[in-house]
Amino acid sequence: MEDHNVSPFNALPPVVVALAVVIFGLELMFQAATAGLLGGQGGVGWRLVAMEDYAVLDQVWTWMLSNGIYPPEQLLRFVTYPLIHGGFVHAAFVVVFILALGKMVAEVYSTLAFLAVFWVSAVMGALGFVVFMDSPFPLVGGYPGVYGLIGAFTFLMLMRAEAQGSGQMRAFGLIGALLAIQLLFALINGEFGTVVADFTGFATGLALSFVVSPGGWARLLRRMRQR
């Protein structure tokens, strides 16, 4: 007999729930502040202040390169920006992707491996953003980390296809569809910075999976010896 009182979150790995709660909790805080429920009159500008302090900004990266100094509080931007979003819909979609993809990835990967895929992908996505683009817009949001999870999911599909002896190109169907949609919106908006960040995140998540997935390091060494 089914227990209809069981929370749907019980089926999700705790690390996935924790990451989603942190991101959505911060967004709810910004929504409450904008509505005047938190922080008084100053709360209206909390999101903007957070972006100024914690988003990845090309001008900050250019300043660091020009001066040859890398203050920790500025480098911290590469780690904190995935937690800040441009609005409720932006954050909600990121949370949905984390819950859906995170469940599939975290059920196979260890907790540390899951967090490594998300945050290393986010960091590399931010580096791709500042190195290859000259965008006047701040980089915020968890999409580069989410695309890292898509990379990990693609890796799992590749391993399944290899075990079944089926076509491996099907594993790239999800990223192909998402990239096509993103390119369309980038053409409409004239801004390709997020596309570069997200695709870099995907490539990082896929490559990292060869090392951090269960048996991944041994599999990588075996393939290198075969070559």
Check which CATH number belongs to the domain holding 95 and give it. 1.20.1540.10
Q: Is residue 200 part of a domain?
A: yes
- Domain hosting 207: range is 8-226
Q: Is residue 3 part of a domain?
A: no
**What is the Cβ-side half-sphere exposure of residue 63, based on CA atoms within 13 angstroms?**
9
Q: Is residue 185 part of a domain?
A: yes
Q: Is residue 1 part of a domain?
A: no
Residue 18 has a pLDDT of 95
pLDDT tens digits, one per residue of 172-224? 676 777 777 777 766 666 666 788 999 999 999 999 998 887 766 566 556 55
- For the chain, what is the domain count? 1
For 23, phi and psi rounded to 5 degrees? -65, -45
Q: Is residue 219 part of a domain?
A: yes
State the DSSP code for 3: -
Q: Is residue 162 part of a domain?
A: yes
